[in-house]
Every structure is written in structure tokens, then in C-alpha cells.
Homo-oligomer: A and B are copies of this chain.
Amino acid sequence: MNNIERDFDKLFNPRSVAVVGASNTLGKWGFNMPMNMIGGGYRGEIHMVNPREERVLGFPAYSSLADIDAEVDLLVVAIPARGVTEVLAEAAAKGIRNAVVVSSNFGEVGEEGMRLERHLAEVASQAGITIVGPNTMGIYSKTSNLCCLGAPVFPLKGGVGFISQSGNLGVQLMTWGYRKGVGFSRFVGSGNAANTDISDWLEYLGDDPETDTVILYIEGIKDGRRFLEVARRITPHKPVIALKAGKGRQGERAVLSHSGSLAGPFELFRGAMEQAGIVEAETTEELVDLAAAFSSLPVPRGARVGVMTLGGGWGVAAADSFDREGLELAVLPDEVIAELDGFLPSFWSRRNPVDIVGNVQRRNHYRVLDLLATCDEVDMLITMGTLLGRDFWLENLFKTAVRPFLGMLLHRTSMLPFFQLSLWKGFRDSLTRRGGEHNPEGSGGINPTEALKWTDSALVRRLKQLMEQERKPIIAVAVNEGESSASFRMRNSGVFTATTPERAVRVAGKLARYSRFISERRSEDTATLPPASGPSFPR
């Protein structure tokens, strides 16, 4: 059934789309899909089919597919289930090769729906039509601005290709990705997968030059052997990250009732995934984290991590999951310790995690990171408290300056002038001190000149340079700043920021595991592998 010849280029780069069941009624699928195509900036032809309307969304409405006197590359079907097969027969006559069928009430609702779906698949396969769905939320393709989706999701453009066996979850995760700054190349909501299997899509994304990282949400797989074979061909040169649903007794049952898939014993599947070099995401949130990290960070050479922290507790929070994630706290050579002694307060931790005990001179943050990144004992870096983010600056301005002023004004009014005089005196003093002096007894306070020079963006630029130069991932952690700052940075500069130390460590653990897989595979069979060119960022 699945041995039809695919023409996925026409699916992801269609010059024209026909929407059967196109509608002017708010909230209907036949309304949402073309609205989102228009909103997403699709530039090809759009043909609306609706026998009861003269125009749909301004376009002239055809009464049937056959009436369209132009070539159609992609068919979208949004009519009740019982009429879909007939439409596909018409599509066959027009030589259409791909159909996105959003209609539900097929295999997911019992025996009768299943019969309908099998018939649909037969008709389509005989005509060489690939069905996305039925019961799908649609597809997205970067190269043609094609937001052929049931929900108003307009992904950022990027290198992440996403196959999801839940449409709703898939489009929402793209929204999470959007908020975090993760860019997508393709999305396929595979729905009931009448005449496809996940491997068809995976194979396409593996070869797709627009895709440098593949993420999957999997409920069930028809042909597990083929899936693993396809994955094994891709993973040595392109990371594949999967969230496998159906964990435990209750998870399996939920999968069965959702997509009708047999999830199978999760532990078996996990083992197979690991063997195939597929990176496992354990939660929905982690799937997005890993998409962000793998599409923006170089793959490390090993599992030895240098950790820098402004405060000891965060170093502990990170180290706490090192054992679980198979990471090692890098052991710093004496000469690195000695260099750090040269500019950190005497009571810094003198080992990894490098606790710089609240030293707020940001030039020193960079010096520490530079030393760690260039150290041969370190494969990757986690830095906490270095970057501060917009929220932090705004909140901090209010908290450190405005609030005390208001406090004096309201509760100690007569003292206000003296308060301002004292502040001015202190500020003047701090301006005349020179930044960067070594103060072994303390953090050295804030030097405004230094703070203005080493802005977040200056630091981020240097981090990027350092990553490119040393080919080691640097993961920043937003312990000071809010989620939105971290997201903004990713969107703005492509530098990944984890929102907690534990999540940073999980990402680092997956990077290390993938690195181990790659080096094992490369040493096994160098000859048979494609060149490790991959995406533009060093990998």
C-alpha cells in the first residue's frame, strides 16, 4: 500500500493549492486553512471549491475540483468524511499527487470509520496520491511560506523539521518554539496516516537540505524496522530527536484511545531509539528545548562540562543532575586555577563548578568563560547568572533605584534631600574607581563604566565567537532573567538559553550522548558515511 512513488517536492513547494470544502464560516476548517495560508504569505494560486458559494474569502468558488481549469499541485480536503473518497477520485483524474485531508470521523472512531479509511487509502494509493491525514492539522513548509494548518501558527523560519502524530500538540509546540525563537523548515501533522508511515516523512527530512535537525512526536509506528533503518541513516549527520508517547500502563491506554496506535512496551522502544542514535526527549517542554539547542549549538567532543556560576547554590543545582545525565564536572588543570586566582576574589570555589561568589564585573565573566572554553579538559560550558536579559534590567532599575526613592519620599520625606546627596556622593566615588581591579577581599562592587561596556549583547557576541572558534557548546542559564528574556535572546541572536540549571544539564547530557554516538559510528564505518557537512553552524 505504501509503495507509491512520492512527490514530496510538490507537497512542500506547491505552485497551486485547491481547497475542497472552502468556507466563509468563522472557525470551520475550510475557513481556517485558507485564512492561515493567506496569513502565512503563501504566494501560489489558491482555488476554492464550494458549490454553495460564489466566492470564498474573496476568491471565486468552483463547484467542483473538476471545474478548475488549471493544474493543482496540492489538494486540501475539509468536508465530512463520507464525501472524501469521491474527491480523491476526482483528484486522481486531475493528476494530483498530494492531498491534505483534515476531515475526521475515520479510523479514530471505530470499525465503520476504519472501513471508510481503508477504502480511501486504496483509492489514493492506486492513483499515486499521498494522503497527509486524514484527521490532520496540516503541514507547514518554509520554502513556500505554506502555513497549510488548522491553527493560526506562523513558525519562525529555521532548520527544524517536525513530524507529529498529534496535530494539536504539534502546532502548539510550534507556538512554544515560536515564543522561544526556534525556527522550523517543515511540519507534518501525520494524522491517521492512511497511506503513509512516519518513516516516509523522516526519510524526506533526512535528505532535505532545508532541515538540519529533525524532531518527532510519536504515538505508534507501523513498520518499526524500517523506521529504525531510516533513522540510522540520518542520525550520524543530522540529529533526530523524538518524544515517544505511551509510557506506562495508563499512557499506553491513552494512546490507544487517541490515535488507535499500539504504543508497545516503552522500554523496548527506548533501547531501539538509543541504538539508532535518536535523542530522546522526555517531555513536551524538553522536545522544544532540544530542538532549540541542537539547531543552534555545536556538538561537543565529550561529556566534560565546565560550570560557571555567580552563586554556589546554582552550581549545586546543576551538579545534582550530572550523575543522572552521564556528565562529568571537568577537572581544572592547576594553571587554569592559577589564572583564575589572578582576578577572582580569594574565596572563589577554586574548582569546578567555578563559583565566582557574586563577582559582578562582567569583564571577568567573559575571562572565566574564555579560560574554560579554551581549556583542553573542557568539552562544553554551562554559565549561570552571566547574562541578565531585558526583564532583569527593567525590573532591576525599578527595584534598585525607583523603589528606594519612593520609600524615602513616602515614609521619610524630610530625609529625602540627604538621601539623594549620599547617593550622589557614592555614585561619584564609584565612577572615579577604575574597573577590573583585583580585589581579593570582595566582589569589588559595581563599576558603572564597566557595566555599560559589557552589555548583554557584547557578552553574547563574544560567546558566539568563542563557540565558533572552539566548537564547544556554551549553554547560558536564565537564573536572573525571566523566560521571555531568554526567548528574546534566542530569537534575536540565536544563542540558546535554558531557563533553569537542571534543564541546561539535561540538554548538555543529550548533547554528550549524541556526541558519543556520532564518534562511535564514525569510527565504525567512516567509509560509508556522508560527509559531515550538515548545517552551516559548526557541527
* Contact surface of A with B, Cβ cutoff 8 Å: 23-28, 31, 35-36, 38-43, 55-59, 80, 104-105, 108-109, 152-154, 164-170, 172, 175, 179, 217, 219, 245-251, 253-255, 257-259, 283-285, 310-324, 328-329, 346-347, 349, 351, 353, 355, 357-358, 360, 385, 396, 399-400, 403-404, 406-408, 410-412, 415-423, 425-427, 429-430, 441-443, 445-446, 448, 479-480, 482-484, 499-503
Q: Assess A25 versus B429: contact at CB under 8 Å? Given A166-B312, A246-B316, A484-B483.
A: yes
Do B317 and A24 touch (CB < 8 A)? no
B411 x A315 contact (CB < 8 A): no
State whether B57 touches A423 (Cβ < 8 A).
yes
Min C-beta distance of A177 to chain B, whole Å:
12
Q: Is the CB of A166 within 8 A of B313?
A: yes
A418 nearest in chain B by CB position: B58
Given A35-B404, A105-B347, A166-B311, A317-B152 contact (CB < 8 Å)? no
Q: Please state if B319 and A254 are interface contacts (CB–CB under 8 Å).
A: yes
* Contact A421 to B254, CB < 8 A, known contacts A285-B502, A426-B25: no
Contact check, A422 vs B154: say whether CB atoms are below 8 A apart.
no
Contacts of A258 in B (CB 8 A): 312-313, 315-316, 349, 355
Q: A40-B407, A446-B27 are in contact. Are A415 and B316 (CB under 8 A)?
A: no
A408 to B360, CA, bound (A): 51
Q: How far is the CB of A488 from chain B (nearest CB, A)?
A: 12
Is B58 within 8 A of A415, CB to CB? Answer: yes
19 A-B pairs (CB sep. < 8 Å): A26-B430, A27-B445, A38-B408, A39-B406, A58-B417, A58-B420, A104-B347, A154-B399, A166-B313, A168-B312, A168-B313, A168-B314, A169-B313, A169-B314, A250-B322, A250-B329, A254-B316, A258-B312, A259-B312
Q: Report the minimum CB–CB distance from A50 to chain B (whole Å).
A: 11
Residue in B59, B172, B448 whose CB lies within 8 Å of A480: B172
Given contacts A408-B58, A421-B55, contact A248 B426 (CB under 8 A): no
Chain B CB within 10 A, most for which of A40, A154, A313? A313
Query: Residue A399 contacts which of B39, B245, B396 (CB distance < 8 angstroms)?
Result: B39
- Scoring A167, A283, A320, A423 by chain B CB atoms within 10 A of each residue's CB, the highest score goes to A320
Contact across chains for A479 and B248 when beta carbons are under 8 A apart: no
- Counting every copy of the chain, the complex holds 2
Instruction: Give, as a whole number of angstroms, the nearest-CB distance from A435 to chain B.
Output: 12
Residues of B within 8 A of A317 (CB): 169, 245, 283-284
Q: Contact check, A430 vs B25: say whether CB atoms are below 8 A apart.
A: yes
* Contact partners of A152 in chain B: CB under 8 A: 396, 399-400, 403
- Contact B179 A55, beta carbon cutoff 8 Å: no
- Check if A500 sits within 8 Å of B284, measured CB to CB: yes
* Cβ of A71 to closest chain B Cβ, rounded Å: 19
The residue that A41 contacts in the complex, of B31, B284, B411, B483, with Cβ under 8 A, is: B411
Nearest CB in chain B to that of A353: its residue:
B254
Choose from B39, B164, B247, B316 the contact partner of A320 (Cβ within 8 Å): B247
Are A430 and B27 neighbours in the complex by a CB distance under 8 Å?
yes
* Cα–Cα distance between A484 and B180 once the two chains are bound (Å): 13
Question: Contact at A323–B247, with CB atoms within 8 Å?
Answer: yes
A191 to B38, CA, bound (A): 59
Please name all residues of chain B whose beta carbon is closer than 8 Å to the beta carbon of A169 when the two chains form the complex: 311, 313-314, 316-317
Instruction: Give me the 5 closest cross-chain CB pairs, A-B, nearest first.
Output: A166-B313, A168-B311, A248-B323, A169-B313, A58-B419
Q: Is the CB of B319 within 8 A of A425?
A: no
Smallest beta-carbon distance A34→chain B, Å: 9
Q: A27-B360, A58-B416, A250-B319 are in contact. List 4 more A-B contacts (CB 8 A).
A: A23-B426, A152-B396, A250-B323, A250-B328
